[in-house]
């Protein structure tokens, strides 16, 4: 692989993938924290409100309980924490691969074409994550389908 192609790959594919995974990791972390803290606060407040609210406005507790249920279900359904950790791991693994390349470690030690090895390893990491995502989503559909049949 020539230097211009490798430089283009680094800029247009490798760095863009790291940026994508980092941004989506941060977004999922934010969603997780918002939902988790919402669930914690509502869980703590609802019993107090039930005990102290006058009878005519107890509907506030009912609405907050509904919101609590929705928040708890959203955490489980959308898997913000799992996605956040997975994307952060992939981003950091991609970064580590560049350090190995630069230092000539692991598969790069004595490699005939370090650049081609780098591209191959990076694409394998990305492909593995994509395959995992597809498998996970197909399994979810399969599970839903099985539940409908029973």
Quick one: which of 79, 75, 87, 72 has its CA closest to 129?
87
Domain positions in the chain are 3-149
pLDDT tens track for 18-68? 999 999 999 999 999 999 999 999 999 999 999 998 988 989 999 999 999
Dmax (CA) for the chain in angstroms is 79
This prediction has a pTM of: 0.83
pLDDT at residue 133, as a whole number: 76
Quick one: which of 97, 100, 45 has its CA closest to 67?
45
Residue with tokens 């599970």: 143
Q: What is the DSSP letter of 104?
A: T
Residues 6+ apart with CB under 8 A from 25: 83, 84, 87, 88, 91
CA distance 13 to 7: 10
Average pLDDT of the chain, as a whole number: 92
């Amino acid at each position: 692989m020539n230097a211009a192609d490798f430089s283009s790959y680094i800029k247009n594919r490798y760095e863009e993938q790291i940026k994508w995974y980092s941004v989506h990791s941060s977004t999922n972390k934010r969603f997780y924290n918002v939902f988790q803290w919402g669930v914690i606060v509502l869980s703590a407040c609802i019993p107090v409100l039930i005990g102290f609210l006058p009878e005519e406005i107890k509907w506030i507790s009912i609405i907050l309980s509904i919101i609590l249920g929705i928040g708890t279900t959203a955490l489980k359904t959308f898997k913000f924490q799992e996605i956040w950790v997975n994307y952060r791991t992939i981003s950091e693994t991609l970064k580590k691969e560049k350090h190995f390349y630069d230092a000539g470690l692991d598969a790069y030690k004595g490699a005939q074409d370090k650049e081609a090895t780098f591209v191959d390893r990076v694409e394998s990491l990305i492909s593995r994550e994509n395959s995992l995502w597809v498998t996970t989503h197909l399994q979810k559909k399969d599970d839903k389908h099985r539940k409908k049949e029973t």
